[in-house]
Structure 1
Amino acid sequence: MNRRDFLSAAMLAGGAMVLPRAVASGDADPAMAAILRAAQQQREAAIQRIRDWIALPSIAAENLNMPEGAQYMAELARAAGFDSASIVPTDGHAGVFATMDNGAERTLGIYFMYDVKQYDPAEWSSPPLEGRMVDKPGYGRAIVGRGAVNQKGPEATFLAALHAMRAAGVKPPVNIVLVAEGEEEIGSPHFSQVVQRPEVFAALKKAEGIFIPASWQNINGGVNVNLGSKGVVELELVASGERWGRGPKGDIHSSYKAMVDSPSWRLVQALHTLVSEDGNTPAIDGWFENVRPLSAREKALIAEAARAGNEAAQREQLGVARWIDDLPYREALERLASQPTVNIEGLVAGYTGPGGKTVLPGRAVAKLDLRLVPDQTRAEAEAKLRAHLDKRGFTDIETNVSGGYDPTETAEDSRLIRAQLAAYQAAGATAKLNPRLAGSWPGAVFTAPPLSLPAGHFGLGHGSGAHAPDEYYVVDSTNPKVAGITEATMGYVDILYQLARIS
């Protein structure tokens, strides 16, 4: 029995995943058998590792526990068997760089983030740092906590794979380079400084590709293999009476609106110019000049996804009744992959507490994210937004960019993508190629020259609620089509072998 068939048979025997094909007979691979036994024996330790990590939140936006988060990340890497793990300073929060030389022919890059989003405990059903175990209908037992799925659960599960191999006395079949940052949740403003360090760049240059651990299996066990991701610019627009020269410098009584200009309405008017009348299409001057249309291959992949997908389930999950312009599902998915967006994340001005407070605010803020598609760039987007506002007389509106990066693209025939597809097939998970993830991650630092590496996401298992209350990561799966933590651990083991042997 080859390694792929043994992995599938072991998972089937454990009852964690139902496989769509027969398993070949023969003797099991002794190395994989030893790794599986170790993963099973270390299961509780792997779960506790996630809970302990959740208990230490590093929140870049609040400058909370950032040095502690970097140090903890380095300690996790060392404990998993990396030869060295060093903290890399930047002009912002530090990154972490670790290497594992296994004397292998090929090298794999791994991207981690150790920071998490902010949280309001009042919105959670259990304390967000407790890591409480709860039942998730259709999936099984899950850890609930900030960072559970984004990204500490999947990342810790990848580390569990290295722990299992180490305990089994099996050397990974590829060398591994780990780069981690603490600013992903604020747009990775300094991550390029980590990657551009000579020793980091030299190590990554040897890699076949790089991926971020993920756990996106749906209730039917399916998963997407992303061939790219949208870029993003995160910023805030600020209107103030002081900078405008009109309206109050601070909040005043609202009765004066009859004779005093309002910075809040000034901001609303500026925002209105950025999009079409329905708010769905960017109207920034020149915004679509470099937007590349979908290729025929990309449209075909999206059409296949629409046929195989569950539109009703996706609508229910998102809490929406219809798509933009009442589009059919296929066209809505095409729009998701192909269209840049201007989104308002939040609006803040004056008093927002209970009841009323009759003020005319002296300052108003809109937090925006701009999603970018090939061939747009972050620099282009920032420049065009500023020029658009200035042309319409909004020179006083501040544009404070906090972070962002360009879109990513990875070739379908790269070794990384083919290894992912092979690993999913070995685990009995239906994998679909997705032209572009609508979300964003700082993969452009890897995919763009001079590194030009294939990059993406990989991982079995399920979790949800990233950035939201009650974020969770499934560790004990009761769904025969979805991996629990041990099966996800073995999935990471298998992709190392897939990458090592694929031609």
Structure 2
Amino acid sequence: MRRMMIALALVTVSASAVMAAPAQTSATPKRAALAAAIAARHDTTVQDLRNWIALPTIAAMGMNVKEGPEYMRKLALDAGFQQAKIIESGGVPAVLATLDAGAPVTLGVYMMYDVKHYDPAEWQSPPLEGRLVDRPGVGQVIVGRGAVNQKGPQTAFLAALQAFKATGRKLPVNLVLIAEGEEEIASTNLPNVVTNPEVAAALKRTVGVIGASALQNSQGTAGISLGAKGAVEFQLIVGGETSNRYPKSDVHSSVHARVESPAWRLVKALDTLVADDGHTPTIDGWFENVAPLTARQKEIVAEGLKGSSDAEAKAAVGVGRWINDEDLQTSSERLVSQPTVNIQGLVSGYMGPGGKTVLPSRAEAKLEFRLVPNMTRAEAEAKLKAHLAKRGFYDVKLVVSGGYGPNETDENAALVTAQRKTLDKAGIPYRLIVRNAGSWPGSVFTAAPISLPTGQFGLGRGNGAHAPNEWYLIKSADPKVAGIDEASLAWVDLLYEVAAAAKK
């Protein structure tokens, strides 16, 4: 997501943590046979993941935009989907796959097959190799771009389907799979995909849409996400292409006495977007639709922080203090409740050794909004345009590259109930996540005209999404934490629980 999920607002719901082989309290019939099938296929599953890592689809770079969906289609058919077809989106194609098990309940599954950029020079092993590495205190992990975000967790899901094939059993639910190749550029064309008549009709048959993730922490506690912030990615550009006030190419810096600077103009525009504190958005009307946390959500945050260390939370992001020197409770509430205006990067002029005495001809800022209920992407974009126009920044070009709104699902929804029962019956402690501070395009499914509950599920661990040396856990050194086989078996259990919960 992706926009890897930050889960600081949590609540512990059950107490014991046992990842060893399953108790027969599970709703899964003849579970041992499915577990054996998953274990027998372990090496093949890992190789499948390595092969997938070796084929990166990067929408922002136009890399493998034809090969990516074809490979996703092949993976779906190999896992047992009877139908899988490529759906044109207006950008990188998506894949629609269906599996009819003759069941009364149909579940939607969301996948992404794109990944973020990578610089091999920053990696300890080649980013497309999928090298297996022993990580002290963690276990055997696979290192590669996309390992945890999201190819590893998604491979665990597909391995669960392979277990049904191997044992000759039908799934307890039918499946509708939507896989996109643009999540890492904020799902630019996913709305076009889900409103495709064939896709929309398939989704309407489902009880909800769930995505695969790795939501266990180092202590073995799992997470159940109730939503996520929305995201809008965009650029602000000033230069010779936006106004004749600026040179068409870099010129000698001495002419700044009579020629305006695109770099300074961009800085002035950016300065209007936040207050002097550097973080509070000041876009006109920005907060008018922002929904505050409910009493229940604050309770979830508070209960989830019991036993947490403020120092460890700060160390995890490499800081020594939170905004306004807030305590952990207050800063955690801020994390899940506040919309943000973030500068991802600034580019202008010469940045090599020494000076170059030039007046840059162009300046660009890459930014993103993180949105909370009840904000929308359209609202955020419109308010930004109006804000800049009101201040006379007509020469500042706005390019919105993608985005979507926030999503929420009620904690009592059948999709959430199924996750809770899956974890309860396995004796795995779990936490409700009020709202992921990171983002995924669940709102494309929760909003009209689809209007379905959404969620994310998955045992196991990983780290380094969007960063060098990204990893996903294959064989765990801790019996409380799932490796890829245990994560696959949890998906088997979840499918049976979805079937049971949706019938009620």
On whether the aligned pair clears a TM of 0.5, the verdict is yes
Which residue matches 2:209? Answer: 210
* Conserved 8 A contact 2:23-2:426: no
Q: Give the whole-Å Cα distance in 1 for the aligned partners of 2:130 and 2:293.
A: 41
Residue 25 of structure 1, CA deviation: 7.5
* Conserved 8 A contact 2:17-2:221: no
Alpha-carbon spacing, 1:48–1:261, altered in 2? closer, same or farther (3 Å): same
1:156-188, Cα deviation, whole Å (9 max, x unpaired): 110000001210122110111100011111111
SS at 1:45 equivalent: helix
Which residue matches 2:71? Answer: 72
Residue 485 of structure 1, CA deviation: 0.8
Alignment of 1:88-167 (within 5 A): 88-167=87-166
Does residue 1:191 correspond to 2:190, yes or no?
yes
Q: Give the whole-Å Cα distance in 2 for the aligned partners of 1:464 and 1:270.
A: 35
Alpha-carbon spacing, 1:370–1:157, altered in 2? closer, same or farther (3 Å): same
SS at 1:220 equivalent: coil
Residue 255 of structure 1, CA deviation: 3.3
TM-score by length of 1: 0.93
Alpha-carbon spacing, 1:23–1:392, altered in 2? closer, same or farther (3 Å): closer
1:254-304, Cα deviation, whole Å (9 max, x unpaired): 233344321101101110110011211101010001001111111111111
Q: Unaligned stretches of 5+ in structure 2?
A: 1-15
Which residue matches 1:328? Answer: 327
Q: Which one-letter code corresponds to 1:392 in the other structure?
A: R
Q: Which one-letter code corresponds to 1:179 in the other structure?
A: I
Which residue matches 1:168? Answer: 167
Which stretch of structure 1 is more off in the superposition, 339-348 or 429-438? 429-438
Q: Give the whole-Å Cα distance in 2 for the aligned partners of 1:246 and 1:27.
A: 70
Alpha-carbon spacing, 1:395–1:86, altered in 2? closer, same or farther (3 Å): same
Q: Give the whole-Å Cα distance in 2 for the aligned partners of 1:47 and 1:211.
A: 23
Which residue matches 1:234? Answer: 233
Alignment of 1:310-321 (within 5 A): 310-321=309-320
Q: Which one-letter code corresponds to 1:436 in the other structure?
A: R
SS at 1:207 equivalent: coil
Alpha-carbon spacing, 1:217–1:29, altered in 2? closer, same or farther (3 Å): closer
1:296-333, Cα deviation, whole Å (9 max, x unpaired): 11111111112243333222221111111111001101
Residue 352 of structure 1, CA deviation: 2.6
Which residue matches 1:13? Answer: none
* Conserved 8 A contact 1:228-1:407: yes
Q: Give the whole-Å Cα distance in 2 for the aligned partners of 1:282 and 1:248.
A: 31
Q: Give the whole-Å Cα distance in 1 for the aligned partners of 2:170 and 2:500.
A: 15
Q: Give the whole-Å Cα distance in 2 for the aligned partners of 1:118 and 1:446.
A: 27
Alignment of 1:98-497 (within 5 A): 98-497=97-496
How many residues align? The count is 487
* Conserved 8 A contact 2:376-2:406: yes
Q: Give the whole-Å Cα distance in 2 for the aligned partners of 1:377 and 1:293.
A: 15
Q: Give the whole-Å Cα distance in 2 for the aligned partners of 1:24 and 1:371.
A: 41
SS at 1:279 equivalent: coil
Alpha-carbon spacing, 1:27–1:231, altered in 2? closer, same or farther (3 Å): closer
Residue 37 of structure 1, CA deviation: 0.6
Q: Which one-letter code corresponds to 1:365 in the other structure?
A: E
Q: Give the whole-Å Cα distance in 1 for the aligned partners of 2:484 and 2:21.
A: 23
Alpha-carbon spacing, 1:24–1:259, altered in 2? closer, same or farther (3 Å): closer
TM-score by length of 2: 0.93
1:433-458, Cα deviation, whole Å (9 max, x unpaired): 12211111111111112221110110
Alpha-carbon spacing, 1:323–1:198, altered in 2? closer, same or farther (3 Å): same
Alpha-carbon spacing, 1:192–1:26, altered in 2? closer, same or farther (3 Å): closer
| Higher RCO (C-alpha 8 Å, min separation 6) | 2
Residue 24 of structure 1, CA deviation: 6.2
1:168-221, Cα deviation, whole Å (9 max, x unpaired): 122110111100011111111111121112221111112111111000211111
* Aligned alpha-carbon RMSD (Å): 1.9
1:211-247, Cα deviation, whole Å (9 max, x unpaired): 1100021111112211111111100000114423323
Which stretch of structure 1 is more off in the superposition, 340-349 or 116-125? 116-125
Residue 484 of structure 1, CA deviation: 0.4
Q: Which one-letter code corresponds to 2:481 in the other structure?
A: V
* Conserved 8 A contact 1:239-1:267: yes
Q: Give the whole-Å Cα distance in 1 for the aligned partners of 2:53 and 2:228.
A: 26
Q: Give the whole-Å Cα distance in 2 for the aligned partners of 1:30 and 1:354.
A: 67
Q: Give the whole-Å Cα distance in 1 for the aligned partners of 2:22 and 2:442.
A: 36
* Conserved 8 A contact 2:236-2:396: yes
Q: Unaligned stretches of 5+ in structure 1?
A: 1-16
1:76-132, Cα deviation, whole Å (9 max, x unpaired): 000000011000112111000000010111111100011111111111111110111
* Conserved 8 A contact 2:108-2:207: yes
Which stretch of structure 1 is more off in the superposition, 252-261 or 201-210? 252-261
1:10-40, Cα deviation, whole Å (9 max, x unpaired): xxxxxxx952999867999762111111100
SS at 1:284 equivalent: coil
* Conserved 8 A contact 1:31-1:170: no
1:340-375, Cα deviation, whole Å (9 max, x unpaired): 000001111112334443322110000000011111
Q: Give the whole-Å Cα distance in 2 for the aligned partners of 1:485 and 1:353.
A: 45
Which residue matches 1:11? Answer: none
1:126-165, Cα deviation, whole Å (9 max, x unpaired): 1110111122333211111111111111111100000012
SS at 1:292 equivalent: coil
SS at 2:224 equivalent: strand
* Conserved 8 A contact 1:138-1:219: no
Q: Give the whole-Å Cα distance in 1 for the aligned partners of 2:54 and 2:35.
A: 28
SS at 1:66 equivalent: coil
Q: Give the whole-Å Cα distance in 1 for the aligned partners of 2:74 and 2:197.
A: 23
